[in-house]
Amino acid sequence: MFRLEKKIAFVTGAGSGIGESIARLFAQQGAHIVLADLREDAAQRVAGEIQEAGGSARVQQLDVAEESQVKAAIEQIAAREGRLDILVNNAGISHVGSLLETSFEDWERVMRVNAGGVFLCAREGVRQMLAQSPGGGVIINMASVAAMIGIERRLPYCASKGAVLALTRSIAIDFVTQGIRCNAICPGTVQTPFVEGYLARNFAGHEDEVRQQLHARQPVGRMGLPNEVAHAALYLASDEAAFVTGSALVIDGGWTAK
């Protein structure tokens, strides 16, 4: 079950954290992975380790917020791999600040990557999925529990992830009869380099204290692990999830159940 034999998967933000775990797991399940990341060296490390383990992978340096780069990346997939079966929109950034602590530049920066990047990658991905034969494919968008609840001093992040959730539902409905499924994953706080970087930038000298707070806000008493999210993505990407589209799968240790 949940095999991805000979599927072509494009994973953004694949150089670390959740994206890295998804790329590794998909490769283990038989997919050929195109790892996209702004940091080419990080993606090369992951791709190299996938290949050493017997998997199939290559790297695409990519800024998901740059339209020309996204178009070129999908065109290259069509030329080199011949088709696109799975698109995982995982790349994202964050910002700490309330409405009054957020500049318009901060707002635009977060929205451009988190919402704009999903829009651009999904649009070009759908175009390719409709053009190929046989047509169709799977899109998985990484949203967040921040799309569903208010989180203190995370204004643009919450807004951007809310947009991802709305995009997911719209894409699912618009292309449901054309063989394309689109779903979102809404993780709680997951222990990744993304989170560690956020702690270092915003809570220097208090990392341990804030890290414990992040563990404690999930009722299970800890942050999630990237591999726990990756297995959810594997299900959504697989043929076993053929009846699932327009859904938001919450993986948050009970946070939003409170």
Residue pLDDT, tens place only, 161-187? 999 999 999 999 999 999 999 999 999
Task: Identify the residue whose tokens are 């449901």.
Answer: 176
Q: Which residues contact 41 (CB under 8 A, 6 or more apart)?
A: 15
Name the catalytic one among 157, 175, 198, 255. 157
Q: Using the predicted structure, report yes or no on whether residue 129 has a pLDDT greater than 90.
A: yes
pLDDT > 70 in the chain, percent: 100
Task: Check the CA dihedral 45-48-52-56 and report its sign.
Answer: positive
pTM, 2 dp: 0.95
Q: Identify the H or E element spanning 135.
A: none
Is residue 59 within 8 Å of 27, Cβ to Cβ? no
> For position 199, what pLDDT does the model report?
86
- 157 an active-site residue? yes
Q: Which amino acid is at 7?
A: K
Q: Which residues pair with 190 in a beta bridge?
A: 224
Nearest to 144 by CA among 118, 122, 126, 174: 118
Side-chain-facing half-sphere of 203: CA atoms under 13 Å: 17
* Phi-psi region at 185: left, alpha or beta (left = phi > 0; alpha = psi -120 to 50): beta
Q: Of the CATH numbers 1.10.468.10, 3.60.20.10, 3.40.50.720, 3.90.1300.10, which one belongs to the domain with range 8-188+225-250?
A: 3.40.50.720
Helices (H) and strands (E) in the chain, counts: 9, 7
Q: Using the predicted structure, report yes or no on whether residue 193 has a pLDDT greater than 90.
A: no
Residue pLDDT, tens place only, 74-128? 999 999 999 999 999 999 999 999 999 999 999 999 999 999 999 999 999 999 9
Nearest to 11 by CA among 199, 237, 216: 237
Domain ranges in the chain are: 8-188+225-250, 191-223
